[in-house]
Amino acid sequence: MHGEYKVPGGKLVVVDLDVESAAQGEVLHGVRVAGDFFLEPDEALLDINRALEGAPADLTAPQLAARIDAALPEGTVMFGFTSEAVGIAVRRALANATDWHHYDWQLIHDGPQSPALHMALDEVLTAEVAAGRRPPTLRVWEWASPAVVIGSFQSLRNEVDVESADRHGMTVVRRISGGGAMFVEPQSTITYSLYVPDSLVQGLSFADSYAYLDDWVLAALGDMGVKAWYQPLNDIATDAGKIAGAAQKRMVGENGAVLHHVTMAYDIDADKMLEVLRIGREKLSDKGTKSAKKRVDPLRRQTGLPRNDVIDRMIASFRNRYGCSVGEVTEQELSRAQELARTKFSSHEWTARVP
C-alpha cells in the first residue's frame, strides 16, 4: 500500500507498507517512510519505521504519531513535516487514497452567472464527479450580480438585513455547504470551487482536508508576494487579516465526492457589508468600519494587481502543479442546474429553511 501526504506549507511525506494478520488483528508490516522533508539525526528515520512496524492497522493518525514521538531520540529535529503528518500518510495508504497527480483535471471559467445558478452548479457538478461522469474540476466563478450567500445551517434573519440587501440590489441565496455568510460584489470577489473524488481526501480528518485542498492557492498567493497560511478551521489569512473563507459539502455517489469552495476578498466595501450582514455588526460593533477593514484585508491592496491578473495567476499556478485542460459545463449539466436554480435556490422555502 502506498500513501502520500503533502504537508500544507511544508514537505511531502510518502509511506509504503503492507498489512498482515496477527493474533491481535491486522498490523502494519514492512513500513518504509520517505519524502523531501528534513530530519536530524539521519538514524531517526529508522526509529520512525520501527515505531510503526507492528502497529494495529486501525490506529488513528494522532495515535500513530504518539508511537513515533515515543520512539524518537531526544533532540530530534523534524523540519517540513511532523509525526502526525506521517500518521496521516499511513492512514491514506490504508484507505487507498489517490493523489492530485492521478487525475486529468478540468478547468471551467465561464462568463458571469446569477447567484442562484452558481449554487445549483455546485450541487450538479459535485454530483457528476461522485457519479464518475465528470473528471475532477476546478471552476472559477464570475458573478452576474451582487449577493449575500449564507451557509446551509445559518438563520436568515440572524445573518442578513434583508431590507438593506434589497436596497443595495443584493440577492440573498443559501448554499449547500455549511459555514458563514459571504458578502459578494462581482468585481470585489474571487470565488472558486473544487469538485474532487472522495478518494483524494481519504485518510484525512475533516479539518485536515481543508488545509490539504487549500495548499495550492497558498502557493499561488506566495508567488504574488502574499504570505498566506491556512487558519483552522476554514480561513486563509495573512498578517494583515483574513483574505478568504472555505466551505465543504460531501456527497455520496458511486465513489463519493467533495465540494470545496473558497471566496476571497479582492476588494471590500466595509460600510455596505456592515449594513447588510447582521453578524458583521455584532463582531465589529466595538470598532466599526475600521475593524472590518482590519478583519478582512483585500487582495487588491496586498498584491497591487488587477482582479483578472490575480485569477490568471491562480489558474497558472494550479496548472503548473497538476495540469488541467479547459472544459465547460455540458448542456445536460447546465439544464439540470438551471432547473435547480429555479425550483430550489431561488425559492423562499430553501433560502428561509432556517428562518
How confident is the model over 142-181, as pLDDT tens digits?
999 999 999 999 999 999 999 999 999 999 999 999 999 9
In angstroms, rounded to a whole number, what is the distance separating the alpha carbons of residues 330 and 219? 31
Helix (H/G/I), strand (E/B), else coil: 161: coil
pLDDT the model gives residue 297: 76
- Of the two residues 277 and 289, the one the predictor is more confident about is 277
Q: The domain 100-351: what is its CATH number?
A: 3.30.930.10
| Closest to 185 (Cα-Cα) out of 267, 306, 302, 83 | 267
For residue 326, name the pLDDT band (cuts at 50, 70, 90).
very high
Q: Which three cell numbers stand for residue 114?
A: 446569477
Query: 61-71 vs 83-94: helix axis angle to the nearest 10?
Result: 130
How confident is residue 286, by pLDDT bands cut at 50, 70 and 90? very low
Neighbours of 290 (CB within 10 A): 10
Q: Which residues contact 315 (CB under 8 A, 6 or more apart)?
A: 107, 109, 138, 140
- Global confidence as pTM: 0.92
Q: How far is CA 30 from the centre of its chain?
A: 33
pLDDT at 312: 98
pLDDT at 292 > cutoff 80: no
The Cα 286–Cα 274 span in angstroms is 13
Contact (Cβ atoms closer than 8 angstroms) between residue 170 and residue 287: no
What pLDDT is stored for residue 282 in this prediction? 54
The CA distance from 220 to 321, in Å, is 10
- The residue extents of the domains of the chain are 2-94, 100-351
83-116 per-position pLDDT tens digit: 999 999 999 999 999 999 999 999 999 999 999 9
Question: How many of the other CB atoms lie within 10 Å of CB of 282?
Answer: 10
Burial class (CB in 10 A: 0-12, 13-18, 19+), 47: middle
**φ/ψ of residue 73, rounded to 5:** -70, 155
Confidence of residue 295 (pLDDT cuts 50, 70, 90): low
What φ, ψ does residue 56 adopt, rounded to 5°?
A: -55, 135
pLDDT at 241 (0 to 100): 86
| pLDDT interval class at 126 (50, 70, 90) | very high
Report the pLDDT value the prediction gives residue 254, as an integer from 0 to 100.
Answer: 66
Contact of 66 with 172, CB cutoff 8 Å: no
Residue 314 to residue 320: CA distance in whole angstroms: 10
Average pLDDT, the chain: 93
Q: Which CATH architecture best describes the domain 2-94?
A: 2-Layer Sandwich (3.30)
3-class secondary-structure state, position 267? coil
Contact criterion met (CB below 8 Å) for 204 and 212: yes
